[in-house]
């Protein structure tokens, strides 16, 4: 869709240049066309999936629908029921969502009133006979590794891993999902991070973790955080079975860096960089740890610990971005 869009725009621009000499008029026309495209694109964006009327569902031999063109949300949450309710209420309305798995690591199981509320929300959002499935994955142990536990009988290949405090418009999630479908071995998401070699340590390769500002400054990244990313469900299995136990213990003890570990795992398996999708992001809770001091030193320690465990640095830096054409000015 993007190349066609570009071509159309390019043709329009050519026509403008050929017939009208004045620079001012040309600029004016460009702005008019851009505005028209923008209005049209926004009007069209949420309807596009249903206009096409195809969600990629494939009927399996027993007559049930196998949701190949859908994705599952795996949401990590911790004692923030208002956020959880807001978040689930929002995502339940997204058109190609198949199921929601809530990773539950609290000492007490989810309350009946919470379950009732969420089930009601999901029922009221069911459409075209498709009902989103809601599952609480209740864990005995409280560990950040829980969010990457293998989910038996997950119907979709695509997992959208998300924290309970970030909200993306459905159209933006759809776009990231489409990008993921074109590269299903890759991690595709909204929150990029960077690593680089520490110049101060000459003797050995030591690395530094770079937060959002270093991505902003350099335009490159090597990780996509699992607080908002698509990946293939096979990586849950890989994380559960292959991730060294010492590394998992480190994550449980330090209550940090499971997202960096997942980036390492995928990069180690693919030898390729992830894909950053630029999208609108709305945080509905206070972000907590990332704004506290010392956070980035801890993350740097994690990176170096993981490099030692993997025996090499698997992350691959890149500057490629996938940009939703609907949110972009062409000139
Ligand atoms: C990393 O990749 C190597 C080579 O493919 C593989 O043998 C190893 O198991 C992988 N490590 C993890 C933790 O997946």
What is the DSSP secondary-structure string of 38-55? HHHHHHHHTTHHHHHT--
Instruction: Point out the ligand 1 atom lying closest to the alpha carbon of residue 238.
Output: 14
- CA-nearest residue, atom 2 of ligand 1: 268
| Residue 209, domain extent | 64-323
Residue 266 Cβ inside 6 Å of ligand 1? The answer reads: no
pLDDT at 326: 62
pLDDT above 90 coverage of the chain, percent: 60
How far does the centroid of ligand 1 lie from the alpha carbon of residue 260, in Å?
16
Residues 6+ apart with CB under 8 A from 10: none
pLDDT at 284: 65
Residue 6 lies in a domain: yes
In contact, 73 and 100? CB cutoff 8 Å: yes
Return d(Cα 35, Cα 29) in angstroms, integer: 10
Residue length of the chain:
331
Considering its fold, how many domains does the chain have in total? 2
Residue 267 Cβ inside 6 Å of ligand 1? The answer reads: no
With b for 16 or more beta-carbon neighbours within 10 A and e for fewer, the 63-74 pattern comes to: eeebbbbbbbbb
Residues 6+ apart with CB under 8 A from 281: 166, 167, 168, 190, 191, 228
Question: What count of other Cβ atoms lies within 10 Å of the Cβ of residue 288?
Answer: 9
- CA-nearest residue, atom 13 of ligand 1: 243
Indicate if 150 and 233 belong to the same structural domain. yes
In contact, 267 and 235? CB cutoff 8 Å: no
In contact, 58 and 143? CB cutoff 8 Å: no
Indicate if 245 and 284 belong to the same structural domain. yes
pLDDT at 288: 47
Residue 329 lies in a domain: no
Residue 53 lies in a domain: no
- CA-nearest residue, atom 1 of ligand 1: 268
3-state secondary structure of 134: strand
Indicate if 23 and 152 belong to the same structural domain. no
Task: Place 130 in a pLDDT band, splitting at 50, 70 and 90.
Answer: confident
Indicate if 19 and 110 belong to the same structural domain. no
Higher pLDDT, 293 or 262: 262
- Phi/psi at 74 (nearest 5 deg)? -115, 110
Residue 247 Cβ inside 6 Å of ligand 1? The answer reads: no
Indicate if 41 and 163 belong to the same structural domain. no
Q: What is the best residue among 231, 242, 248 to mutate for testing ligand 1's pocket, by most ligand atoms within 8 Å of CB? A: 242
Indicate if 72 and 12 belong to the same structural domain. no
How far does the centroid of ligand 1 lie from the alpha carbon of residue 314, in Å?
10
Cα 199 off chain centre by: 31
Indicate if 99 and 26 belong to the same structural domain. no
Indicate if 79 and 222 belong to the same structural domain. yes
Return the axis-axis angle of helices 258-270 and 245-254, rounded to nearest 10°: 150
Catalytic residue chosen out of the listed positions 98, 163, 259, 324:
259
Q: In CATH, what number is assigned to the domain containing residue 149?
A: 3.90.550.10
pTM above 0.85, yes or no: no
Q: Answer whether residue 301 shows pLDDT above 70.
A: yes
In contact, 230 and 180? CB cutoff 8 Å: yes
pLDDT at 4: 44
Q: Answer whether residue 144 shows pLDDT above 70.
A: yes
Per-residue DSSP letters for 283-327? Answer: E-S--GGGGSTTHHHHHHHHHHHHHHHHTS-----B--EEE-GGG
pLDDT above 70 coverage of the chain, percent: 71
Residue 59 lies in a domain: no
Return d(Cα 261, Cα 226) in angstroms, integer: 10
Instruction: Point out the ligand 1 atom lying closest to the alpha carbon of residue 247.
Output: 13
In contact, 162 and 73? CB cutoff 8 Å: yes
Least confident residue range of 25-29, 156-160, 179-183 = 25-29
Return d(Cα 323, Cα 213) in angstroms, integer: 19
259 classed as catalytic: yes
How far does the centroid of ligand 1 lie from the alpha carbon of residue 264, in Å?
10
Higher pLDDT, 51 or 166: 166
Task: Place 57 in a pLDDT band, splitting at 50, 70 and 90.
Answer: low
């Amino acid at each position: 869709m993007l190349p066609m869009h570009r071509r159309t725009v390019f043709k329009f621009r050519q026509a403008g240049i050929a017939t009208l000499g004045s620079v001012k008029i040309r600029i004016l026309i460009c702005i008019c066309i851009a505005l028209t495209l923008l209005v049209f694109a926004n009007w069209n964006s949420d309807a596009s999936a249903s206009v096409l009327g195809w969600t990629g569902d494939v009927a399996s031999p027993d007559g049930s629908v196998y949701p190949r063109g859908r994705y599952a949300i795996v949401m990590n949450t911790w004692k923030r029921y208002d956020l959880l309710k807001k978040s689930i209420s929002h995502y339940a309305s997204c058109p190609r969502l198949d199921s929601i798995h809530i990773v539950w690591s609290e000492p007490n199981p989810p309350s009946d009133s919470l379950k009732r509320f969420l089930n009601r929300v999901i029922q009221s959002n069911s459409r075209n006979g498709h009902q989103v499935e809601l599952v609480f994955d209740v864990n005995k142990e409280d560990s950040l590794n829980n969010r990457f536990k293998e989910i038996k009988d997950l119907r979709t290949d695509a997992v959208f891993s998300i924290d309970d405090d970030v909200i993306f418009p459905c159209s933006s999630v759809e776009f990231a999902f489409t990008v993921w479908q074109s590269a299903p071995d890759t991690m595709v998401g909204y929150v990029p991070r960077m690593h680089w070699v520490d110049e101060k340590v000459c003797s050995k390769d030591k690395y530094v973790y770079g937060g959002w500002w270093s991505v902003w400054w350099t335009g490159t990244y090597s990780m996509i955080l699992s607080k908002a990313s698509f990946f293939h469900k096979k990586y849950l299995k890989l994380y559960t079975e292959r991730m060294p136990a010492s590394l998992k213990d480190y994550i449980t003890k330090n209550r940090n860096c499971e997202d960096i570990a997942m980036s390492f795992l995928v990069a180690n398996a693919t030898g390729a960089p992830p894909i950053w999708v630029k999208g609108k992001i709305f945080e509905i809770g206070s972000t907590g740890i990332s704004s506290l001091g010392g956070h980035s030193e801890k993350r740097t320690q994690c990176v170096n610990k993981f490099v030692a465990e993997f025996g090499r640095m698997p992350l691959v830096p890149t500057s490629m971005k996938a940009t939703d054409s609907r949110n972009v000015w062409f000139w």
